[in-house]
C-alpha cells in the first residue's frame, strides 16, 4: 500500500475534501495534474516554486489517489471543484495556474470560467485538440475504441500494470513506461482505476475559436522537443490563436517534461510567472 502521510487534507464549505501538497508562502499558485497522476506529480516543482516566492498548492482531483472520492470521471465536475477551490483558498488574491495534459485542459477552461480568479496561466501540452483540425487526422492520432476497451478490460481483471504501461506509452513514446522512475510508476498504478471511467465517459471536447478568444490573460504554452505531434500541434495552434501567449520548448523532453527535466521546466515557468506585467 502506498504511503499517504505527505498529503494534507483541506476542506471548505463548498466542494470536495481535498488531498494536497503545499509548499512556500507568497503569491498563490495552483498546479493541476493530468491523467493517471495526482498531487505527487508536482513534487519536482514545489521546492523551486516555494523558493521563488510562491505559495504552491497541488491538489489531487476527486477521482484520484489518495482519497478516490468518485469512480466517475468528469472534466466538468473537476472544473466545478477547481472554481470552488480558488474561490475559497485564495483569500481574495488571484492565482497563477499551471496545468499538464488533462490538467492543462482544465486550466484552460478554468481561465474561461473564472478569469477574475486567475493571474497567469501555464499550459504544458494541454489535452484535447483544436476544433479547426481535421477530425480524421485527430482520430488517426488517438487510440481507437478497441484499444480503449482492451485497456479497460485489463484494469477490470486486475492487470493494471499492463494497462498503465499501454496508456503511458500512448501519450509519451514507446518504451516510456519501462524506463519510468519507480515513484512515477507507483503513482500511476495508484491511479489505474481512473482509466475505466476516463476512457469510457470523459472524452475532452475540442478547443473552439470562440473559447480561445475569451482568454485575455498571459499564457505560457510548453511543449516537449520529443513529444507526439498531436500535443505539439495543439500547443502551436493555441499559441497562434491566443492573444497573449508565449510558446517554449523543453529540450530533450516528451510529454512528462516536468518529471524528466525538472530544472528546465521550473526555470521556464518561474521566468514567465515573474515577468513584469507589461510583458504578459
* pLDDT, tens digit, 9 for 90 and up, residues 134-148: 555 554 466 778 899
Query: Cα separation of 213 and 202, whole Å?
Result: 24
On the question of pLDDT at 8 being above 90, the answer is yes
Q: What is the mean pLDDT of residues 273-277?
A: 89
Q: Is the pLDDT of residue 39 over 50?
A: yes
Question: Smallest Cα–Cα separation from 168: which of 149, 144, 195, 141?
Answer: 195
Assign 251 a pLDDT band (cuts: 50, 70, 90).
very high
Position 1 confidence tier, pLDDT thresholds 50, 70, 90: very low
**66-124 per-position pLDDT tens digit:** 999 999 999 999 999 999 999 999 888 999 999 999 999 999 999 999 999 999 999 99
Q: Side-chain half-sphere of 191: how many Cα atoms within 13 Å?
A: 26
Mean pLDDT (the chain, rounded): 93
Predicted confidence at residue 89, as pLDDT, reads 92
Q: Grid coordinates standing for 278?
A: 507589461
Query: Which of 4-18, 30-44, 240-254 has the weakest average pLDDT?
Result: 4-18
In percent, how much of the chain has pLDDT > 70?
A: 94
In CATH, which of 3.40.50.300, 3.40.190.10, 3.40.50.1820, 3.40.109.10 is domain 8-139+205-279? 3.40.50.1820
Domain boundaries, the chain: 8-139+205-279
Amino acid at each position: 500500500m502506498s504511503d499517504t502521510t505527505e498529503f494534507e487534507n483541506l476542506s471548505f464549505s463548498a466542494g470536495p475534501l481535498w488531498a494536497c501538497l503545499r509548499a512556500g508562502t507568497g503569491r498563490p499558485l495552483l498546479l493541476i495534474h493530468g491523467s493517471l497522476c495526482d498531487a505527487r506529480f508536482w513534487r519536482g516543482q514545489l521546492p523551486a516554486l516555494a523558493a521563488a516566492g510562491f505559495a504552491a498548492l497541488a491538489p489531487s482531483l476527486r477521482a484520484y489517489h489518495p482519497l478516490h472520492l468518485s469512480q466517475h470521471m468528469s472534466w466538468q465536475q473537476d472544473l466545478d471543484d477547481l472554481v470552488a477551490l480558488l474561490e475559497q483558498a485564495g483569500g481574495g488574491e488571484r492565482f497563477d495556474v499551471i496545468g499538464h495534459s488533462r490538467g492543462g485542459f482544465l486550466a484552460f477552461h478554468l481561465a474561461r470560467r473564472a478569469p477574475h480568479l486567475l493571474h497567469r496561466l501555464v499550459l504544458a501540452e494541454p489535452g484535447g485538440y483544436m476544433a479547426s483540425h481535421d477530425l480524421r487526422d485527430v482520430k488517426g492520432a488517438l487510440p481507437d475504441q478497441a484499444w480503449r476497451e482492451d485497456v479497460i478490460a485489463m484494469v477490470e481483471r486486475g492487470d493494471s500494470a499492463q494497462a498503465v504501461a499501454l496508456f503511458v506509452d500512448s501519450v509519451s513514446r514507446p518504451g516510456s513506461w519501462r524506463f519510468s522512475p519507480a515513484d512515477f510508476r507507483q503513482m500511476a498504478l495508484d491511479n489505474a482505476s481512473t482509466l475505466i471511467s476516463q476512457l469510457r465517459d470523459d472524452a475532452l471536447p475540442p478547443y473552439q475559436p470562440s473559447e480561445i478568444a475569451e482568454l485575455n490573460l498571459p499564457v505560457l504554452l510548453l511543449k516537449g522537443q520529443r513529444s507526439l505531434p498531436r500535443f505539439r500541434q495543439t500547443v502551436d495552434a493555441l499559441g497562434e490563436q491566443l492573444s497573449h501567449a508565449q510558446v517554449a520548448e523543453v529540450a530533450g523532453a516528451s510529454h512528462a517534461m516536468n518529471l524528466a527535466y525538472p530544472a528546465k521546466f521550473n526555470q521556464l515557468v518561474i521566468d514567465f510567472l515573474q515577468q513584469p506585467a507589461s510583458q504578459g
